[in-house]
Structure 1
Amino acid sequence: MNGVGEGIGAAIEGGILSRAVEPSRGEATGAPPATSECLNCGAMVTGPYCGECGQKAHVHRSLAAIGHDIMHGVLHLDGKLWNTLPLLTFKPGQLTRRYIEGERAKFVSPMAMFLFSVFAMFAVFQMVGLSVADDFAEGWANYEQDKGQPSAFTENIRKQIQTLERERASLARNDPRRIEIDNELKGLQTILDGSPLDLDDQGSIEFTATGIETLDNGLIEKWKKNPSLMLYKLQANGYKFSWLLIPLSLPFVWLMFAWRRRYKAYDHAVFVTYSLAFMSLLFIAISLISAIPGGGGWAVALFMIGAPLHLYKQLRYAYGLTQFSTTWRLTVLLLFAMPIVLLAFVLILGVLGAF
């Protein structure tokens, strides 16, 4: 499937998922119909929805209505979105605090906003050609082709290895020189192919990248054999398991407010989810700007300024912090929490791709 088609599919999938978790309350529905009987449960309906089962009073029976439902469900074009987006972009702390304190009907919920923005981000990545799997596969093929043509340097390394192996084979098993040769062989072989190695008692060379058999025979071995496929799985699982970023981030936010008991785990979850939703939208803007000729510098500037500034404003006004309290928490998030969360997320995706 080409990038545009795949991107459109991802956007539709994200819209449907976000609609599935977002209740339909608080949306504009027009003038209420006259009193009628609910076609679903038989109760009397005096408004746009049945008070017993929640079904709409007016039921459409046309192809145009099906198209409207699809567009409405996928694009989420209702009053909630337009109430949420400006606050999420410019006043994220206010949006977070208002949602936590009970203003729910007028805003898109954090999880619905997160799902839609993440899937939309990966859709835009596909459309603008940011598909790492294809690029990596081509690069890997070129690398393999070049690797089949040894240079003078690699030939020299191989000759040194052969010489040392012959010397090692001629020595007694308890000769201390064998240990020195083993260490030299490990270093030379690491230079040759970038992989840590071990030597068994017979002098044969084996890969032992981590020493953990499960990882060596599973994850690492699969990455060696087919890196392009594994990277494709990494990319595909990236948006399917993007929700893992929420539980991975929560402990760090909780620790920064552990002594402030007025803030509960739910508050932190809303904060993290809205923050991740905005970051996805920011990456959409960055990818579109970078696709414009000469837009790379503007894209970098937008990220370097927009990401920390947004996080600062959300932290300060969502939790009612002073400038100093906000600054040190922002520093901890940017320098410690985020790198750890991203590393853990990538490792999890790598493990998932091996199965």
Structure 2
Amino acid sequence: MSEIGEGLAEIGQGTLAAQAIEPHAAGSGDGHTHESACLNCGTPLIGAHCHACGQAAHAHRSLGAFFHDLLHGVFHFEGKIWRTLPLLAWRPGKLTREYIDGRRARYISPIALFLFFVFLMFAVFHATESHEEHGGEGNLIGVGQSAQSLEAELSKLEAQRSTAVAKGEATAALDDLIEKRTETLAALQELKAENIAVSLPTGDGQGMHSDIPQIDKALGKYKANPELAAYKLQTYAYKYSWVLVPISVPFLWLLFPFSRRFHLYDHTVFVTYSLCFMTLLVIVTMLAGAGGVAWVGGVLFFVPPFHMYRQLRETYALSRFGAIWRTWLLVWFSASALLIFFILIMAQTSG
């Protein structure tokens, strides 16, 4: 229950942060106009909202109204989310083009939606990770055992079997365990023979190596204190998720170099809405895994290229061929952006 409580707390926190970026989502909107002048800027009021600063004409001053505004923000976003999500999922190009062209009142801004989804993603992660942390008795080896530790364990098991045979005791259970450990050890040795580095979450850290100094340094920290390193990795990924936007925009610009029709602002809106959808896919995948339908994640793996194609074609008014080859490049660009983001995060965790 504690994980769920923390998750709900993060959802609320994310909503409040999103409201700070999407200010009109937090207004009362009930039509009360008891004040004759705006309480924020002093402008004479005409209607339910100040025409100068946009603040609601009537300010709620009760505890019930405060929690009503909070719940309204979490579950409704002034109704905008129910108009935004269908377009984001099926017609992302129309949503992106509408926002770029200034028709924004009906939709949540891309940065507010992205911020909210990031909070939601980590809230879901913390709420569901307990289902994945503990392996069952059926695991062949404990998480993080290396070939060396397996060899030591096999030696102990063989000694136990010899003792059991000398005493005339049954050895069926030990024989089965020795067979499983031997198969696992053979697989690890085969990987080693093929020069494949085996990186395990815990243990002695053997084989944890890359060709990037920053990552190697972070892996060293991970080896010294895996739990602390994993916590820092999650924390920095959470804090710096917004960096994915400026990292990705230059890659998208390469698809339309020196274009006079499309500008960096257009690409930024495109990238941010695209990241919103990809984050939503991650959320759905985690929920599906926690619900015992992990195959949903395998199906959703093929969705991003199709979504990119639809968003590219309608946002930039491309032909089918123009959208297809740009989608192919964008998939590779996205992988590159994620790699850069990963390197930056790993560099932060090694600090």
Q: TM range, normalised to the smaller chain?
A: 0.7 to 0.9
2:329 is matched with 332
Provide, for residues 281-308 of structure 1, a one-character-per-residue CA deviation record: whole Å limited to 9, x for no partner: 1222222223333x2223311332x222
2:266 is matched with 267
Change (3 A) 1:302 1:211: closer
1:161 is matched with none
1:292 is matched with 291
2:347 is matched with 351
The answer on 1:19 being equivalent to 2:13 is no
State the AA in 1 paired with 2:260: R
Alignment check: 8 A CA contact 1:50 1:56 kept: yes
The CA deviation at 1:309 is 1.6
The CA deviation at 1:223 is 2.2
2:144 is matched with 143
Q: Once the two structures are aligned, what percentage of the paired residues are identical?
A: 41
SS in 2 for 1:105: coil
User: Gaps (5+ residues) in structure 1?
Assistant: 155-189, 196-206
The CA distance in 2 between the partners of 1:213 and 1:289, in whole Å, is: 36
The CA distance in 2 between the partners of 1:303 and 1:212, in whole Å, is: 28
The answer on 1:87 being equivalent to 2:83 is no
The CA deviation at 1:236 is 2.2
Aligned residues: 302
The CA distance in 2 between the partners of 1:152 and 1:70, in whole Å, is: 55
Change (3 A) 1:237 1:247: same
Change (3 A) 1:343 1:43: closer
User: Gaps (5+ residues) in structure 2?
Assistant: 156-191, 199-206
Change (3 A) 1:208 1:129: closer
The CA deviation at 1:318 is 0.5
Runs of 4+ in 1 over 6 A off after TM superposition: 25-28, 207-216
2:300 is matched with 302
Matches within 5 A, 1:7-86: 7-24=7-24, 29-31=29-31, 33=33, 36-86=36-86
Structure of higher CA gyration radius: 1
Change (3 A) 1:48 1:152: closer
Task: Select which of 318, 325, 338 maps to 2:315.
Answer: 318
Alignment check: 8 A CA contact 2:38 2:45 kept: yes
1:96 is matched with 96
Change (3 A) 1:245 1:53: closer
Change (3 A) 1:272 1:57: same
Matches within 5 A, 1:210-221: 218-221=217-220
The CA deviation at 1:213 is 8.3
Structural RMSD (CA): 3.5
The CA distance in 2 between the partners of 1:213 and 1:350, in whole Å, is: 10
Alignment check: 8 A CA contact 1:25 1:105 kept: no
Task: Select which of 337, 341, 344 maps to 1:341.
Answer: 337
The CA deviation at 1:258 is 0.7
